[in-house]
Structure formats: structure tokens, C-alpha cells
Structure 1
Amino acid sequence: MAVAVVSIPVRDQVAGRTFYTEVIGLAVLRDEAMGPDMRWIQLQPKDGGATIALVTWFQGMPPGGVQGLMLGVDNADAEYARLSALGITVSPVDEQPWGRFTMLNDPDGNGLILAQLTAPEEFRTR
């Protein structure tokens, strides 16, 4: 069973779409009306994988309620430099046994981690 869609609660779906596509670099998979006041906005990394949906309809998921969503990147230092140049507040790049990462918040306060993951030790020795 694969992760298909992760819901990200936002106040304004259009503003969220702009941030996640123009700043983070995700691609629009679907953007369709769901009644008069909602849209199904589903985004995906350009090379595939699990998707996110920008949601406004879950009472138990207020905007900013997601923390720790980890997105894989090729180079954490390059992402830090790119986002800093755009005026985005990002944490200094940190290094842990599982990889290098920087953290930021989307406009609604959802916490994102951009991580350059390393392979587990048993895979590096093969």
C-alpha cells in the first residue's frame, strides 16, 4: 500500500497553489471545482510519487496544522540558498545520520522539511 495523497490545510487554496508550485516546485496534477466554494487542488513532485491536496474542509485540520511534512531534495544547501534568495525564512542546514535538511513554513504555518536523504548504512555498503 503506497501513500497516495497527504492533505495540507490552507486558508486560501489559490494562494497555497501558488506557493507550492512557484516556490516549492510541485506540479499541478488536478485543479477542479468541488462545489461553489472549494477546489480539488492536487500537487505532485515533477518526477512522480505521493501527492498533496490543499484542503479547507476538515474541521480538525486548521490551516497551519501540519508539521514535519518531509519533501526530498537533491541538495539541501542549494535549496537553502534558493529559498533564502527568494526572501523565504529557512532554518540553517542541519545534518543528521539520515541526511541534511532545512525547514520552513508555508504561508499558513504548515511546517515543511526539505531533506537530502542518505541511504541507510546497509544499502551504502552493498
Structure 2
Amino acid sequence: MDMKLELVGVPVTDVDRAKEFYVEKVGFNADHDYTVSDEIRFVQLTPPGSACSIAIGRGLTEIVPGGLDNLQMVVADADAARAELVGRGVEASEVDEQPWGRFVYFSDPDGNKWSLQQLPAWSAGAGGDGVDPQTGA
């Protein structure tokens, strides 16, 4: 049985501010923006190249805005991704070098935390053979 993660709710306080941040600064695509009622507004945003989107809005989740601290996307080049974010006005960390990848961290205006991971060359996800040269596994 296949299961594909397609939508993650991200809690925000100001929907318009969050939409502007994700679209104008981070570069997500604005897919939908529907006001269903006074209590419900559904905004779907998708990172370029991703099969999974995020949903922001009103009446979508009970999670406290800023309560997500582990959203992660994979990028081809951490340095280029960081440069693009900083160039668009996003406060992004320096590149963090780890044996399992290179990371850049940033937060949205509500404090939801994101990381961008450049997979190591040996990773099958990065086009490698999937064998860690240190462990042979």
C-alpha cells in the first residue's frame, strides 16, 4: 500500500502575512486561497518541485502558531538555497555541515522552524549509490 504525504498544516496568526512570507520570500507557489466561511480560510502553498504542500489559514488546526519546529525540505545546494533566501529578505542561518548533510535553518514570522537539507553525495536521494562511505551501509 502506497501512502503519500501531500499536505501539512502550518499554524499562523496572520494568514496574509504568512502567505506573503512563503510566496514572496521563500518562493512557494500559491495554489489555493479560499474563504469558506467567517471561521474557515484555506490557503494551500507548495514549495517548487515538491509533491507535498502546506496549508495555512483560519480554522484549520488547533496547533499554537509557531508550534512546528521540525519542517524539513531537501535542496540540491545548501549554499545556493541560503543565498536565495537571504536575497529575498529571509533571516537564514549559515550552512551547518553535518555527516548526514548540509543544513540551512529559518523561521516564518510566527516562529515555525524550517530546515533545508542538502543530502550528502553518497545518499541515494542525492543521486549517489546510497552507501555511506564511513559505515559501508
TM-score higher than 0.5 = yes
Match of 1:65 in 2: 67
Identity %: 36
The alpha-carbon distance between structure 1 residues 106 and 71, as it changes in their structure 2 partners (threshold 3 A), is same
1:110 to 112, 118, 122: 112
Partners of 2:68 and 2:26 lie apart in 1 by 16
Deviation of 1:37 (Å): 4.3
User: Which deviates more, 82-91 or 39-48?
Assistant: 82-91
Q: How does 1:23-38 map to 2 (within 5 A)?
A: 23-38=25-40
Question: CA RMSD of the aligned region, Å?
Answer: 2.0
Normalised TM-score (structure 2): 0.79
Match of 2:130 in 1: 123
Normalised TM-score (structure 1): 0.85
User: Which deviates more, 41-50 or 116-125?
Assistant: 116-125
Gaps of 5+ in 2: 133-137
Q: How many residues align?
A: 124
Match of 1:19 in 2: 21
Q: Per-residue CA shift, 1:58-112, capped at 9, x if unaligned?
A: 33x1110001100222211122223334443222101222211110110000001
Gaps of 5+ in 1: none
Counterpart amino acid of residue 130 in structure 2: F
